Structure 1
């Protein structure tokens, strides 16, 4: 491995946001004076240790050109895929042309605009001696139930929450290893919901790094005002 691996950001943004609804994908919604995706990208573009960003967009995307970073030299655009994992794989393929196999790739959701510089710094620091990779996550404090759908649904049983975490992003892994993991999952027909899931299929155990709970993903309409509130609170804290 190289002595000084570089750090790259990959942003899968080809989704249509079906759960959110509306004619505009959620990553392009107006948000605190900009668009959601502008905030999601800014924390990486403004960071001196991030070598560049690869953004996977739908070929039919008609909103990207109106964003703050549409012409930014640090952002490379590639065609996304049908699923999130396909978009990440396409971005990694493009990145492999200029990055090393042992470079770190930080995959971040386009609709997660409240990532703080502090959490990003902590993640980068955690990778210094990390053999597998790491992801931001938050311990689960709610009581979690499993359901028997045939009954209504009704509660089947309660899960012990002591070992349960909410997986957030960024999730950081070596470029070569993540490409291998995604290829294996695709070959075996495995559906994965995040990049850590693919790495786990290799028998590896990524590090869970506790991050801020306000690093939420905008999924439903009620998430947008909540994310705006969190962002305003973060900005006020920076001014103190």
Structure 2
């Protein structure tokens, strides 16, 4: 029996206004390459990822500037919201494909974390899974429209949701479509699957898998990338789609 394909879907149509930069955050540079390049290359270089689909804004003025179309990826139009971009990205996937959805602004993803998440494909108890980390800090709930503490939340069982998030493409497509039609607030793929009644596994991931959101995140991401490439013996600027896919 043929193994199902794993297709990475990268929603990259956001503008990243909180970065206060002159361009969307995915095009800021770390270690000589854009954040988006680091993210795409990490996915392309995983031996079990068969394809990468990137959803960009139709008005994107930077994607071609960095030669990203030269990479072995497929490019589709993004939408107004993340869920729209992801849905556009998985529309052409096969019925037996699995969608591995990953934030464009998480360039520090580690191969071992992707491999651990892909193990969910063999489970009969859940419909998919996401990378996450248990909450370690004390969590406070504030009163509505104030910065005044209402109470301290019990952090037992609380996790920070990360990406990638992995689901059968057919199920995720239906869940996103139905959730958007209902006007539901879909903050990630897991929330759409939860709304549709599916069980989702949490897979403990690395704390280095940060999402670049604010300017202060850039030096931390740069540090994690340098550590990653040093451990693997790579030059950050030459690390690209040079794995088995490019050689085959």
| Alignment TM class, shorter chain as reference | over 0.9
**Map of 1:90 onto structure 2:** 88
Corresponding residue pairs, total:
233
**Residue in structure 1 matching 2:127, options 124, 132, 136:** 132
Moved more, 117-126 or 184-193: 117-126
**Map of 1:220 onto structure 2:** 214
Distance 1:53 1:20 in 2: 26
**Map of 1:14 onto structure 2:** 13
Higher relative contact order (Cα pairs below 8 Å, separated by 6+ residues): 2
**Map of 2:154 onto structure 1:** 160
Distance 1:91 1:154 in 2: 41
Distance 2:153 2:199 in 1: 21
**Residue in structure 1 matching 2:192, options 177, 189, 198:** 198
**Residue in structure 2 matching 1:180, options 174, 179, 195:** 174
What is the CA distance between 1:3 and its match in structure 2?
Answer: 4.9
Distance 2:192 2:100 in 1: 14
Cα distance per residue 1:82-130 (max 9 Å; x no partner): 000000011111x23xx2x131100000010000111111112232235
Unpaired runs of at least 5, structure 2:
235-248
Distance 1:169 1:147 in 2: 27
Distance 1:49 1:66 in 2: 29
Moved more, 187-196 or 44-53: 44-53
Normalised by the size of structure 2, how large is the TM-score?
A: 0.89
Tell whether the 8 Å contact from 1:55 to 1:78 is kept in structure 2 after alignment.
yes
What is the CA distance between 1:48 and its match in structure 2?
Answer: 2.6
Is 1:104 the equivalent of 2:113? no
Distance 1:201 1:37 in 2: 30
**Map of 1:146 onto structure 2:** 141
What is the CA distance between 1:222 and its match in structure 2?
Answer: 0.4
Cα distance per residue 1:180-230 (max 9 Å; x no partner): 100111111001110000000111121000010110000000001111111
Distance 2:30 2:70 in 1: 20
Tell whether the 8 Å contact from 1:9 to 1:54 is kept in structure 2 after alignment.
yes
Distance 1:155 1:223 in 2: 26
Unpaired runs of at least 5, structure 1:
none
Give secondary structure in 1 for the equivalent of 2:230: helix
Is 1:53 the equivalent of 2:56? no
Normalised by the size of structure 1, how large is the TM-score?
A: 0.92
What is the CA distance between 1:70 and its match in structure 2?
Answer: 1.9
Give secondary structure in 2 for the equivalent of 1:161: coil
